[in-house]
Amino acid sequence: MADAWIDPTPTVDSALTDAQIDSWQRCGFAFVSGLLAKDLVDELKIDAMRAFPAPGSAQAATIADFGSGGRMTFPSKSRAFNAVTLHPRLLAAIAALLRVPTTQLRLTQSDLWPKYGQTRPRGAFDNDEQRIHVDYPNHTLTHPSPWDRPEAVELILYLDDVDECGGSTALVARDGPDDPAYRWPIVDTPGIADLDYVNDRAHAEAYFSKIRPHLADWRASLYTREQRVRYKPGDVLLYRHDLWHRGTALKPGALRLAHNITYRLASAEWISVLHPGWAWSAYDKSKFFERLIARASLEQRAVLGFPQPGSRYWSDQTIAAVEARYGVFGMEMGPYRDAVTT
């Protein structure tokens, strides 16, 4: 079957359009351009190129298939990485999709990682040509809520051009509440319940053909419905944890860099943080994380789980204590103090 390509739709004044919000809520994704400024994306790409080895090098073979191996997770010493993670326009877009104020969002993932196009035969756990899957199993302890009650937004910020490196994300748009691809519960993918985890497409579908032949036929129908995003640097794919999708093969020897970020509703405590917590960076000699907290807006701090003005955490004693920790970096405690005294 010929590939069905999806081109990004532009944002308006760096905000999502009603059509983009509707696409995410009905179909499970929105693919957009113009959400982040080009100079910020360019700066992030430069930092990422410095963090990861070149394709074909001996060092590249040591990079895990998933994640950055801690090289670029939040908080990072890359200014651009942190700026993207907490960008006001990005947070506003997520809030619009989940229909909540920005202060009701929580960050659970910010990880920039490379994928290298393979030149050897693929194994069952290789990440180059993925099986079609949903992302929720390694994000949440439960199962996503019904479609009209979304709890999280996951996104991919692409730093490369699909024409140069391949590796497009393929997805299956949901077609209404009776779409057979989205029958409930969504569990017919490797790694869920008693199914073994297999990542590579060929190996995964061979596994299904052997142990669940009826599911193998149904899963084959998902591949026939795939659409692939035609990404360029700065494009953003916003999608749900219960969207069928997969990463497709990169060109042999190519490198694709992508920034993966997830935000959840503050109330959805069963959605986990994927990598070490933010406070783990607090002892770094440069004090970069303390400076980040001190200079962040109230909304940006809220996304990290910092208590907002009016929280029961705040008292005269805790305000003085937090000021003692962050005041030297210029943190203004007025909003917290005012909420206690009013």
The secondary structure element, H or E, covering residue 2 is: none
What angle is formed at CA 62 by the lines to CA 61 and CA 65, rounded to 5 degrees? 80
pLDDT at 342: 61
pLDDT at 58: 75
| Tens-place pLDDT, residues 213-243 | 999 999 999 999 999 999 999 999 999 999 9
pLDDT at 86: 98
> What residues does each domain of the chain span?
5-275, 277-342
- Output the pTM of the full model: 0.95
What parts of the chain have a pLDDT lower than 50?
A: 1-2
> How far are the Cα atoms of 152, 177, 298, 336 from residue 262, in angstroms, in the given order?
7, 25, 19, 27
pLDDT at 57: 81
* 263 backbone dihedrals φ, ψ, rounded to 5°: -125, 145
Bridge pairing between strands 5-6 and 29-33: unpaired
Q: How many helices (H) and strands (E) does the chain have?
A: 11, 10
| Tens-place pLDDT, residues 72-114 | 999 999 999 999 999 999 999 999 999 999 999 999 999 999 9
Fold of 5-275: Jelly Rolls (2.60.120)
pLDDT at 65: 67
